[in-house]
Amino acid sequence: MRPDSSWQPPIRRPRRLRQNETIRSLVRETSLLPSQLVLPQFIVEGHDIIEPIEAMPGRCRLSIDRTITECKQAIALGVKVFALFPRVPDSLKTNDGQEALNPDSLVNQAIHAIKENCPDACLVADIALDPYSAVGHDGLVSPQGKVLNDETVKVLAQMAVNHAQAGADIVAPSDMMDGRVGAIRSALDHAGFTDVAILSYTAKYASSFYGPFRQALESAPVDAPNVPRNKKTYQMDPANSREAIIEAMLDEAEGADMLMVKPGLPYLDIITTLRSRTQLPIAAYHVSGEYAMIKAAGRLGWLDEKACMQESLIAIARAGADIIFTYAAMDYARWWRESQA
């Protein structure tokens, strides 16, 4: 078919830069290295324990010895940062979450052991009370059912020092209490831990994508009188974006070293917004629900798991995240290594 005589070939042809993989790689705008990933790990008491998490295919609750093995495997792939989350026995859960301050807690035992066996590992200690709480909230809950802010902040500051004493490199308050970053920074500095960094969960939304994580830790709010059924009085409303800027500016002023947006994919706009407002490193959490959906669809043959997982993580990086917490960290690192061969 002859073209219309009035038609003129385009001068600019963007497809010139897409015609083969070598050229596409040459002009690729976003790269994501395994060294930018953080692998969350679920730790349980005991020895030689591997407990598969039904809602998170490929991820397990591991005893400390098995966690060390996984750390070594991840480090060999280029993933060297690990976020530790304990499955605390119900017998140790209390309304005041005091097990979080135990110098010999499960997390502290893990920090000691991993540091001894994996000196290159960088360890992130989660700072929130929900794994230790008998009622499943990130903060202390009053008899009337109110999540208490200032009283919780005092405990969180002690918790941060406790984990720093064990050897944590980074503490990551994920609780969303007001003023906790400043209190933690002050407590760390007064205890002599001026080099311990704070990665603040700055914009943590009251998301429905956290379900598999709460199953893994059995840390969801309990159904009991005078216990809030959700975390909406402290986690952010998914409808809000300007509020994230307020939280970020407060956390930066209080001494945060890095800022977190959680979840990842449903909040790419928040990542981009914060990237334009701060010079601090931005982390994003590719959460359990996001991971589980891709895994489940991949197993059913509805999606290409590898392609969709890679695309999701690259999208988070493209939006402006420097660091990504993801349960697919080791998978991605293997795929990345294969692509470099």
Q: Name residue, tokens 């998914």.
A: 238
Residue 217 one-letter amino acid: L
In the set 80, 93, 231, 262, the catalytic residue is 262
The yes-or-no answer on residue 115 being catalytic is no
Strand extents, DSSP E, the chain = 37-43, 50-52, 60-62, 81-86, 122-127, 140-141, 147-148, 170-173, 197-204, 258-262, 282-286, 323-326
Q: Which of 295, 339, 332 is nearest to 313 (CA)?
A: 332
Burial (CB count <10 Å: 0-12, 13-18, 19+), residue 255: middle
Query: What is d(CA 296, CA 289) in angstroms, rounded to the nearest whole number?
Result: 10
Query: What is d(CA 197, CA 237) in angstroms, rounded to the nearest whole number?
Result: 27
In the set 93, 204, 231, 295, the catalytic residue is 204
- The DSSP line for 52-93 is E-TTSTT-EEE-HHHHHHHHHHHHHHT--EEEEEE---GGG-
The yes-or-no answer on residue 306 being catalytic is no
- 173 forms beta bridges with 127
Q: What is the DSSP letter of 201?
A: E
Query: What is d(CA 62, CA 70) in angstroms, rounded to the nearest whole number?
Result: 9
- The DSSP line for 210-259 is GHHHHHHHT-SPP--TTS-SS-TTTSBPTT-SHHHHHHHHHHHHHT-SEE
Q: Which residues carry out catalysis?
A: 204, 262
